[in-house]
Amino acid sequence: MGLMKVFSGSEVLAIALQQRLEEAGVETAKKDNIQSARLGGFGQTDLAVEVFIQETDFAKANPVIEDFRMSI
């Protein structure tokens, strides 16, 4: 299986979701497109921070993700 994107948005919200998922025992990966663009010399504002999980963890992560989405 592979990685599955579960969130794309601001860095603050991405970190908050990432913490909730890790507290629930789900490993996450974060891709910061904003920081990558800045380091590469591209100042784009339409890029976002993305949070990924393993596809096999989706059943465990889905309730956490839905609760998070309802709280924002």
Q: What is the pLDDT of residue 1?
A: 67
Question: With b meaning 16 or more CB within 10 Å and e meaning fewer, what string describes 11-32?
Answer: eebbebbbebbeeeebebeebe
Q: Please tell me the distance from the alpha carbon of residue 19 to that of residue 26, in angstroms, as a whole number.
A: 10
pLDDT score of 52:
97
Q: So what CATH class is 3-71? A: alpha beta
pLDDT tens digits, residue range 16-70? 999 999 999 999 999 987 665 555 566 555 568 999 999 999 999 999 999 999 9
Q: What pLDDT does residue 33 have?
A: 75
The answer to pTM > 0.75 is yes
Cα angle: 50, vertex 32, 28; to 5 degrees: 50
